[in-house]
Amino acid sequence: MDVLQTLDSLHDAWVEAALAALAQGEATRMGLRPQLERFYELLRQAVSSNDPAWLDSIVYLWVWSQTVTDLDSQEINVAEALQHLIEATMQVARQHLTDGENLEFITALMPYWLHMLEYAANQEMRAQLDHTTSELERVQRELERLDKSKSDFISVAAHELKTPLTLVEGYAAMLRDVLTHAPEDVRAQASPFLEGIDRGSKRIREIVDDLVDVSLLDNDMLKLSFQPVWLGQIFRSLTDELAPVLEERRLTLKVHRFPGSERLIFGDVERLQQVFRNLLTNAIKYTPDGGRITVDGRLLPGFVEVWVADTGIGIAPEDQRIIFDKFGRLGDPQTHSSGKTRFKGGGPGLGLAIARGIVEAHGGSIWVESPGYDEEKCPGSIFHVLLPLREAPPDEAGKSGIFSKLAAYLKKGE
Ligand code: ADP
């Protein structure tokens, strides 16, 4: 008997054995039977034409008709099913053929099995890859949607809070005016209340301003006003501004006169001051009383690098990227103490996101280095800011860049 005749003779027994090997319930068997009949037919054609590729179409169909649940299981379902079919074939051949015929039959079928398994594994890998890619795209779209609703919410909240806050500030100012004409004892009584309102509204104003900045950054609407800037000047003014807090918290702030600190660069003074204010207030917030904060820097080709180092609680390596995302504050919000400069006084987690947005809008970058987080040993953190050394505002720099290139080109052509 040749292989084709053997295949024909084993057909009925094979279908039953294959059904038993693959399916559990009767209903599934009914659905499977035509598939297996077709498979056997294709195997027969492959053998008769000596071309294993005849089997590809059905294997392809099986692989690509897998459900999302099958694909989610990340198992090689079809290749495994094919192995069951191979086992069923061997079992039927053993039962119905002599040892010699059996050996000949199985050897003849071997190349077809190998081709089929390889093709199935290949297709399954592709199907898994396609599935994983589309899953990733779905998750990405979902994240983008969530991020969009988050930034919409921030923008709405910021604008909705601004109006009543302006009202509170306005009425507080009017009340203060009225009280200047009031008798001394009334003024003395009212003064702490007014201070309380002032403190509270100032804090809300800071948060609302941060929310507005984040929403500007989210929508690519942050406008920089480039002017001549001296970094040393910025740090002198911040040192004065923060002196009372530093004293209260018994922290020393040492600002070095570093190469580049007195050099004129172009940038948005207010915004750069905001960046370094955020870094310094963070250094204050996350350094226990009595600690040290140091500002230093250096000149690099085309850039000036500034770093703010503290002797505070430090930041775990896995958090060193997250903190620059909006709301990227660490730890349990419930355990944060309130206040902008108190030790571990938590904010909404926007300061570094804003700092990164401003620095990047200047064409620079910002990052942190810290050995890790440890409230006992206080390993400290170093925040680095790299800013381009601009000799003119970007537009003019761009123009002069083109002109000087053009001039150089014309000169070369002479
Ligand atoms: P927050 O308003 O919470 O201070 P930031 O965006 O300024 O928000 O900082 C994000 C988080 O980064 C903080 O909650 C804090 O966990 C961590 N962090 C920032 N600066 C420091 C620092 N100098 N030392 C330790 N942790 C810091």
The answer to whether 337 touches 345, Cβ cutoff 8 Å, is yes
Question: 203 is written with which tokens?
Answer: 């804090």
Q: Which residues line ligand 1 (CB under 6 A)?
A: 278, 282-283, 286, 310, 312-313, 315, 323, 328-330, 346-353, 381
What CA–CA distance (Å, rounded) separates 12 from 22?
16
pLDDT value at position 401?
A: 46
| CA 196 – ligand 1 centroid, Å | 26
| CA 323 – ligand 1 centroid, Å | 6
| CA 286 – ligand 1 centroid, Å | 7
DSSP of 214-282: HHHHHTT-PPP--EEEEHHHHHHHHHHHHHHHHHHTT-EEEE---TTTTSEEEE-HHHHHHHHHHHHHH
| Model pTM score | 0.67
Nearest atom (ligand 1) to Cα of 283: 23
| CA 358 – ligand 1 centroid, Å | 17
Task: Please list the ranges in the chain whose pLDDT falls under 50.
Answer: 337, 398-407, 411, 413-414
Nearest atom (ligand 1) to Cα of 350: 6
DSSP of 308-361: EEE-SS---GGGTTGGGSTT---S-GGGPBPSSSSTTB---S-HHHHHHHHHHH
Q: Which residue has tokens 């038993």?
A: 20
Residue in 280, 286, 287 to alter for ligand 1 test, most ligand atoms within 8 A of Cβ: 286
β-pairing, 303-310 with 227-230? unpaired
What CA–CA distance (Å, rounded) separates 361 from 335?
34
The answer to whether 29 touches 19, Cβ cutoff 8 Å, is yes
The answer to whether 193 touches 332, Cβ cutoff 8 Å, is no
| CA 273 – ligand 1 centroid, Å | 17
